[in-house]
Amino acid sequence: MADFSYKLDNGESLEEVQKRMYEAFKGINSKSEDNYILSGHGTSLALLFNQLTNGNFGYDEWKEMQ
């Protein structure tokens, strides 16, 4: 299992990316009554999906993303 709190100097941890992505998603979702498209790189989207599925979206599911 990944250490979501690990980060390099002046970097961003997975935990921080996940929080940022989730807050952005909540903001977009709360203001939209229509369909919308989310875009991002694989890791940030995987972290969002992990949050939205209560941890059920993990590394194996990330590897299957296309």
Give how many domains the chain has, as a whole number: 1
37, amino acid identity: I
Residue 3 lies in a domain: no
| pLDDT at 11 (0 to 100) | 96
Residue 4 lies in a domain: no
Residue 50 lies in a domain: yes
Structure tokens at 31: 């203001």
Residue 9 lies in a domain: no
Domain enclosing residue 45, as ranges: 14-27+40-63
Residue 51 lies in a domain: yes
51, amino acid identity: Q
Residue 57 lies in a domain: yes
> How far apart, in Å, are the Cα atoms of 1 and each of 4, 26, 52, 55?
9, 26, 18, 11
Can you give the pTM of this predicted structure? Answer: 0.83
Residue 35 lies in a domain: no
Would you give per-residue pLDDT tens digits along the chain (66 residues)? 779 999 999 999 999 999 999 999 999 999 888 888 889 998 999 999 999 999 999 889 988 887
Own/partner pairs, 9-13, CB within 8 angstroms, 24+ separation: none
Residue 58 lies in a domain: yes
